[in-house]
């Protein structure tokens, strides 16, 4: 099953890469492509949770009200950590170190980077909603674009940095 999924994703990447070859190196293209898949999943989960599942008035916990968009953001984030790491390691940055120990280190670094991304995403999302009065799902899309740019640089030069030989 995993082998078929790998082949399917690799085939998808190879099929469309010729269109982007003039402008993007394969690793950037692959990061954007698999990142788009994971980001679409993240935004989809956020929108479903916020628009249809969570109460619009938020949740009150110990006298403090937590906005529904905050809960949706956190749940979508937690679901897409493992998928994002797997996609990045196996398709975007596959030339990096292998082995259980190296993968564990990369996973820790990945969690740090996406944790920073979550914090940035939350602050940007909250700012757009509170100060610009933007609708939460649209604000999520804008904040995601900003955070993805920073995350690519961090993932390439920190998490999946090529080992020096």
Give 88-135 pLDDT, tens digit per residue: 988 988 766 567 778 888 989 999 998 998 899 889 999 999 999 999
Tokens of residue 131, six digits: 């100060």
Q: Which range has the worst mean pLDDT, 12-16, 79-83, 119-123, 147-151?
A: 147-151
Per-residue pLDDT, 163: 67
The per-residue pLDDT for 160 is 87
Residue 152: HSE in the Cβ half-sphere, 13 Å Cα cutoff: 17
The packing angle between helices 100-131 and 136-154, to 10°, is 140
Closest C-alpha among 51, 53, 43, 52 to residue 73: 43
- Tell me which long-range contacts 85-90 makes (C-beta under 8 A, separation of at least 24): 85/110, 87/9, 87/34, 87/35, 87/37, 87/38, 88/31, 88/34, 88/35, 88/155, 88/159, 88/160, 89/160, 90/6, 90/9
pLDDT at 137 over 90: no
> What pLDDT score was predicted for residue 165?
46
Structural domain total, the chain: 1
Residue 16, in any domain of the structure: no
Residue 18 lies in a domain: no
Question: Does residue 141 sit within a domain?
Answer: yes
Q: Rounded to whole angstroms, how far apart are CA atoms 132 and 10?
A: 40
Which residue segment(s) compose the domain that 39 sits in? 27-159
47 in a structural domain: yes
The answer to whether residue 2 sits within a structural domain is no
Residue 22 counted as domain residue: no
Burial class from Cβ neighbours inside 10 Å (0-12, 13-18, 19+) for residue 63 reads exposed
> Does the structure show a pLDDT above 70 at 149?
yes
Which residue has 């170190």 as its token pair? 97
pLDDT at 74 over 50: yes
Please give the pLDDT value at position 79: 93
- Residue 110's Cβ-count burial label (10 Å; 0-12, 13-18, 19+) is buried
Q: Does the residue 105 lie in any domain?
A: yes
Mean pLDDT computed over 66-84: 91
Domain for residue 155, yes or no? Answer: yes
């Amino acid at each position: 099953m995993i082998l078929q999924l790998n082949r399917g994703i690799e085939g998808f990447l190879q099929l469309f890469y010729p269109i982007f070859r003039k402008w993007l190196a394969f690793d950037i293209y692959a990061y954007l492509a698999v990142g788009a898949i994971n980001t679409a999943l993240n935004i989809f989960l956020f929108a479903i949770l916020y628009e249809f599942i969570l109460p619009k008035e938020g949740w009150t916990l110990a006298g403090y009200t937590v906005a529904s968009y905050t809960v949706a953001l956190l749940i979508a984030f937690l679901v897409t950590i493992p998928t994002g790491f797997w996609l990045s390691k196996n398709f975007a940055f596959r030339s990096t170190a292998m082995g259980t120990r190296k993968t564990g280190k990369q996973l820790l670094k990945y969690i740090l980077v996406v944790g920073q991304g979550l914090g940035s995403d939350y602050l940007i999302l909250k700012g757009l909603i509170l100060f610009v009065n933007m609708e939460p799902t649209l604000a999520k899309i804008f904040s995601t674009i900003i955070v993805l740019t920073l995350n690519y640089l961090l993932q390439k030069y920190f998490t999946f940095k090529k080992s020096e030989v």
